[in-house]
Amino acid sequence: MNPVLFNRKRTVRTTITIAALIVIAFIVLLLSMNTGFTKMSPLEVLRTLFGGGTPRDELILFEFRLPRIVIALLVGTGLAIAGAILQGVSRNALADPGILGINSGAGLAVVLFVVTNPMRESASPMFMPFLALVGGFAAAAIIYLMAYKKDKGISSSRLVLSGIALAAGINALMIVLTLQLDPNEFNFIATWQAGSIWGSSWKFVLALLPWIVILLPAALWKARQLNVFSLGDDTATGLGSYLNKQRLLLLIIAVALSASCVAVSGGIGFIGLLGPHIARRLVGPRYEHVIPVSALIGAVLLLIADMVGRTLMENAEIPAGVMVAIIGGPYFLYLLARSRT
């Protein structure tokens, strides 16, 4: 087949997929605005959106529901892109910031802060992503060093296994730390850890938005680089140290994305896994297509998970992270059972 033609076909397919996903995102967005503890009809929502709602409706929609929806979209985007990058860099289709321990590292930093500073109201939402970033990078650095051997470079299996070990260790430490909290703080941390989109105010949107706005284009810009990694190390070693630098840069982007998301949403696993996988099914393996499509899929998935979690039970909320795990866990196991390496 003519490679140019082939490429064009792919691009067309990606464009159609993206358009379809945007439509789906819009539908879910509208649904999500309608559902919640207080019932609002679609008409009321529309009227409120265009400035004709009652003060009560405006309060619910603009102050409670919309910020939370926007955060779900941003977090879903960030985690899915981080997952796509990590899968490319580790050449393991099952890598994900949760499994690699980066989320745990970021979470540990946040929990440490809450434990040592009893007045958590004093922590501005702007500060949380930086804190999570330190933890996320520390975890990533440990995993990277453990997977690195002088003469052989990074091995994908060592990377994955080190991540799993580190996550297990951090989780043990985290339980110990949270036990020292009083019941109120404990509940806050427990809910946050379970992956609840708790920062439902515009302040948190503002805290997260710059990270996504800067890192999303950076990931897209580096997408072609990820294609080179997928060729395997033998082919890629010809490029030598250049490759190691690229790998490091991409890792930094992925860690920064997932850590800033963890800061506002806690540990949501599996999104970074599901997004890229479904994307690959839809548009093939090339990362310039995979990254934007998985970003959209991640955003839609998390929005649905949050919406369902909010409305499934009358008097309680199920954290989005739990919802994602209920769907994502079995899917992950299915992928694993089918995988060859």
Partner 1 sequence: MTRSTFVKGRQTSPKEEIWSRPYAALLIIIGGLVLLLAGLAFSVAKGSRQIPLDVVWQALVAFNPANQDHQVIWELRLPRAIAGALVGAAFAVAGALMQGMTRNPLADPGLLGVNAGAGFMLALCFAFFPGMGFNQLIMFSFIGAAVSVVLVYGIGSIAKGGLTPVRLALAGSAVAAMLVALSEGIALYFRISQDLAFWYAGGVAGVTWAQVDILWPWIAGALIGALLLSRSITILSLGDDVASGLGQRTSLVRLAAVLVVMVLAGASVSTVGAIGFIGLMIPHAARALVGVDYKWVIPTSAILGALLLVFADTFGRLLNPPTEQPVSALIALIGVPYFFYVIRKKVGDNF
* Pick 210 or 330: Cβ nearer partner 1: 330
Q: Give me the least distance between CB of 74 and partner 1, in Å please.
A: 21
* Pick 23 or 175: Cβ nearer partner 1: 175
Q: Give me the least distance between CB of 26 and partner 1, in Å please.
A: 29
The number of beta carbons lying within 10 Å of the beta carbon of residue 313 is: 9
Q: Give me the least distance between CB of 102 and partner 1, in Å please.
A: 13
∠ Cα 229 234 236 (to 5°): 40
Q: Give me the least distance between CB of 61 and partner 1, in Å please.
A: 26
CA 75 – CA 58 distance, rounded (Å): 24
* Pick 161 or 209: Cβ nearer partner 1: 161
Give the residue from 266, 295, 267 showing the smallest Cα distance to 279: 295
* Pick 124 or 315: Cβ nearer partner 1: 315
* 3-state secondary structure (DSSP) of residue 141: helix
* Pick 250 or 325: Cβ nearer partner 1: 325
DSSP string spanning 148-175?
A: EETTTEE-HHHHHHHHHHHHHHHHHHHH
Q: Give me the least distance between CB of 54 and partner 1, in Å please.
A: 32
Q: Which residues of this chain interact with partner 1, rule CB under 8 A?
A: 92, 94, 98-99, 146, 149, 152, 155-158, 160-162, 164-169, 172-173, 175-176, 178-179, 183, 186-187, 190-191, 193-195, 269-270, 313, 316, 318-319, 321-322, 324-326, 328-330, 332-333, 336-341
DSSP string spanning 69-92?
A: HHHHHHHHHHHHHHHHHHHHHHT-
* 3-state secondary structure (DSSP) of residue 62: helix
